[in-house]
Structure 1
């Protein structure tokens, strides 16, 4: 850890806090009120610049209706650098407003065929950066013959 830079675990916990807050539709101000702190403190927690104490993490878990382990799920301990970067990019998107909105809309679609059509369309629209072509290879290798 470099002095002055947040620790990766603090950033991860902050990202998980933000993602759950957004999924529940809570503002930083509302979450802060429920935890007895300012929205500025929530911002610092979410960025990882301030560490969340054990007691505040317990309180946040209660307010957000998740177990404390939720904040540590999906934490990459040791993985090849490329995989960590890809996971970070995906995680960053998932906690963005667009990511949360897309996730909510997609998961509300009940028809599996419609969801699959949307996935196929998204892959077709994506830049040919190798990501969706790797998915296609994987999909075709697992498809029944």
Structure 2
């Protein structure tokens, strides 16, 4: 049975890898393991050792603490009372479509990106 921390760390590895456009094969090559092991880490099937997590953090250019961000965020009673349609999923960047959207957004020239952001904000306010 997988441990919630292992699953969270795996999702954060996948999130960062997708965000920078790196394949499992490329990450595995930089860390010196097979890509199947990266797959197992990303699903939480295998636990990442401290030294391996250090190597992965260096390959993905993030601090080791990145992999634990958001794990210990407790849900307060106030947050539980907010309707689900007004909240953002905790693992939104674990979704490939969301990451593709973020990548595409940052590929747009800055002046157009600001206008797109304003449009999205206005549309969300009237929805």
TM-score by length of 1: 0.69
Q: 33, 38, 54: which is aligned to 1:37?
A: 33
Unpaired runs of at least 5, structure 1: 126-131, 133-145
**CA shift at 1:42, angstroms?**
0.6
SS at match of 1:17: helix
Q: Which residue of 2 aligns with 1:71?
A: 67
Aligned positions of 1:25-64 closer than 5 A: 25-64=21-60
Q: Which residue of 1 aligns with 2:105?
A: 106
Q: Which residue of 1 aligns with 2:119?
A: 117
SS at match of 1:51: coil
**CA shift at 1:120, angstroms?**
2.7
| Greater displacement, 44-53 / 72-81 | 72-81
SS at match of 2:65: helix
SS at match of 1:25: coil
Unpaired runs of at least 5, structure 2: none
Q: Which residue of 2 aligns with 1:96?
A: 95
> Higher relative contact order by CA 8 Å / sep ≥ 6: 1 or 2?
2
**CA shift at 1:100, angstroms?**
1.0
SS at match of 2:28: helix
**CA shift at 1:90, angstroms?**
4.2
Task: Tell me the matched-pair count.
Answer: 118
Residues of 2 paired with 1:51 and 1:69: CA distance? Answer: 16
**CA shift at 1:49, angstroms?**
1.1
SS at match of 1:20: helix
TM-score by length of 2: 0.77
Cα RMSD for the two superposed structures:
2.6
Change (3 A) 1:78 1:14: same
Provide, for residues 17-55 of structure 1, a one-character-per-residue CA deviation record: whole Å limited to 9, x for no partner. Answer: 001101111111111111111111111101111110001
Residues of 2 paired with 1:19 and 1:77: CA distance? Answer: 18
